[in-house]
Each structure stands twice: as C-alpha cells, then as structure tokens.
A and B are shown apart, each in its own frame.
Chain A
Amino acid sequence: QKEVEQNSGPLSVPEGAIASLNCTYSDRVSQSFFWYRQYSGKSPELIMSIYSNGDKEDGRFTAQLNKASQYVSLLIRDSQPSDSATYLCAVSLYNQGGKLIFGQGTELSVKP
C-alpha cells in the first residue's frame, strides 16, 4: 500500500461546479497535510494546509481532514477553467524531519 493515495483522474467538471479531490494516507502519526497545485510543466505551489480535524476554508477552497479515517479532501467551489491542473496531496510526519510524502496527484479538468 502506498503511503499517500489519490485517484489519478482525470476528473472533469463543468465550469461553476464543485470539484472534490480525495486523498488517503497510511501512517497514523501523520501530522500535517497539504494540497499543492501543479500546472503542466511547472512546479508545485501550495494551496492549503490543514493540521487538525475538520474543515478549513480559504476563498473557493475548503480542505477537510478526518484523522480517524485517515482521509483528507479538497473542495473547489465555483470551479474555473484556470483551476485545471494536477492537485497533489502531501502528508508530513514531524518525527521524519517534516519531509513531505506526496500522492501521485489528481488531474482536474474544468470545462467551460
């Protein structure tokens, strides 16, 4: 089992819809959780971080964390074509130097 798993997609949603991206992780001591966005040919850029159970909202983005289920998700409301990218879920273990372990990424396509 991979440490961090995501559906590779592609996930296709119409413009204005809600895009839901999911991620599961295997290590129960994972402490910090991140969502990065990566446009084709570019480097990852941080969108959201979440550290405790529940929801965290930032503009059109909401991250949800459920440590009991080892599950983290990202919701994108009012999806725009400019949101089309690969979304990378990453987890960090404090006792492993804070390095990030990434999932394989989910490709999102928002159709006008």
Chain B
Amino acid sequence: DTGVSQNPRHKITKRGQNVTFRCDPISEHNRLYWYRQTLGQGPEFLTYFQNEAQLEKSRLLSDRFSAERPKGSFSTLEIQRTEQGDSAMYLCASSSWGSGANVLTFGAGSRLTVL
C-alpha cells in the first residue's frame, strides 16, 4: 500500500491553457474524492466517484472542469481554459465505502499556478 499518489505535484501554466491532474488511490478503495484548497481555507469538495461512477459534482465545478475514473482505479481531473482563479492545491482522497467508517486518506496534492 503506497498511499494515494498524485501527479504532477506542481504545475505552472498560462491562462487559457488546459491542465490535467492524475490521482492513483489506495488500491482497495472504491471511493475517490477531489477537493480544492486555497491559501488559508479548508479543502472544498469538488466531486466524488464510487468505482467508475461519478456520483456527485459540486456547483463549484464549472463546465471547464471535468473528472473521470474510467476503470474504477485512477482518476483524472482536467481544467480547460484555465483562469487565474483556478490557482489552488487540488487534493485527491480515497476511502473504502461500506466497510465501516468512511475515512478519507489524502494524497500529497497537485499545486496549480495559473499565470
């Protein structure tokens, strides 16, 4: 068990470019969550998956954001036409739903800077 892995750890991009982040959850976990965190704030929920099904999307997730978990394993979060306001830490977490308490384990995060 290597924990939750996120790549890339840092991404600097110019406004208007597209970026994609990848998350590899703990292998036996069936739930995967994406959060966004800005400086001085707690993580904000974006979306989550049960296996390959996307079960909820926050209203924070504009049409420029899309997330997938095609085979119920890793997940990608894509941001199209990035804006400076998208600069944040994007956190992925996974959990084992249905086996007791739903404890989320976070990855190290992917920090996005939009110039």
Return chain B residues, CB-CB under 8 Å to A34: 103-104
Interface string of A27-56 (1 = CB under 8 A from B): 000001010100000111110010100000
What number of residue pairs across chains A and B have CB atoms under 8 A from each other? 59
User: How many residues in B have their beta carbons less than 8 Å from beta carbons of A?
Assistant: 25
Q: Tell me the complex Cα distance, A36–B40, Å.
A: 15
Segment at the interface with A among B14-22, B68-76, B79-87, B105-113: B105-113
Is B41 interfacial (CB-CB < 8 Å)? Answer: yes
Q: Is A79 an interface residue (CB 8 A)?
A: no
CB distance B56 to A99 under 8 Å?
yes
Residues of A within 8 A of B27 (CB): none
Q: Which residue of B lies closest to A44 (CB)?
A: B106
If the complex has contacts A43-B91, A97-B55, A99-B56, are A105 and B41 also in contact, measured as CB distance less than 8 A?
yes
**B65 contacts chain A at the CB level, 8 A cutoff:** no
Q: Smallest distance from the beta carbon of B112 to chain A beta carbons, Å?
A: 14
Given A43-B91, A46-B105, A97-B55, verify A104-B43 contact (CB < 8 Å): no
Most chain B CB within a 10 A radius of its CB, from A34, A51, A92, A98: A98
B residues in contact (CB < 8 Å) with A: 31, 33, 35, 40-45, 48, 50, 55-56, 91, 95, 97, 101-109
